Structure 1
Amino acid sequence: MERLNKDLKSILKPYDNWYNDVEPEVNLQAKAALGEFYHALLRRKSDVGYEKGNNYHFMYLSFFINIRKAFEEEKYLRVCNEFHSLMYYTPFFQKRVYNNAISILETYLEIKGE
């Protein structure tokens, strides 16, 4: 399972750039990488257990606000950066985070379980 997590991060890492100050072609490559990330996520199911929260229990929501905003601005490298941070700072595979990740990718990439 740890290998899959590293694989997920390796999909995003080349495009992990919050500033999104790249050529349009690289931005489109980042969008394609997000599609690859989505399909890799579908191969990894959410965790069954629940990790009790702390003061940062709802921190994941701020990442999704940033992800949505970056998608709307078509800044796909920023989306990659926000997902990478989300995976680092939150229990990413808990259902509350994982299901939202799947949903936002399906919405903005206009894909569904392909």
Structure 2
Amino acid sequence: MPRHSGDTLIVHVTGDLDVLTAPTLGTYLDVALADAPSVLIVDITELEFLSSAGIGLLVETHRLTGRAGISLRVVAEGPATSRPLQRMRIDEIIDLYPTVAEAISGRV
């Protein structure tokens, strides 16, 4: 469930992010973006599996937040999350952070 920290909205995702679950997360993110936070943090550190559908959703969210002037920060650490994002060079377009605290402070 999303939680607010000032003008920052944090969405914590667990389990698998794949073709079956990405649409549900997409709906949550659409609702979150309707509130127009200045910063949207998507914490995927507890994902067990991140598929190309999940990665595509993050890229689409990056596109939408960019248009709305919202800073998207993704918290990803470990072989199930940061490794696939780095191998696909997603980290070159989306800001990745190892912890929520670092994402809140905005320091990479």
TM-score for both structures, normalised by structure 1? 0.36
Judging by fraction of residues, say which structure has more strand: 2
Higher RCO (C-alpha 8 Å, min separation 6)? 1
Judging by fraction of residues, say which structure has more helix: 1
TM-score for both structures, normalised by structure 2? 0.37
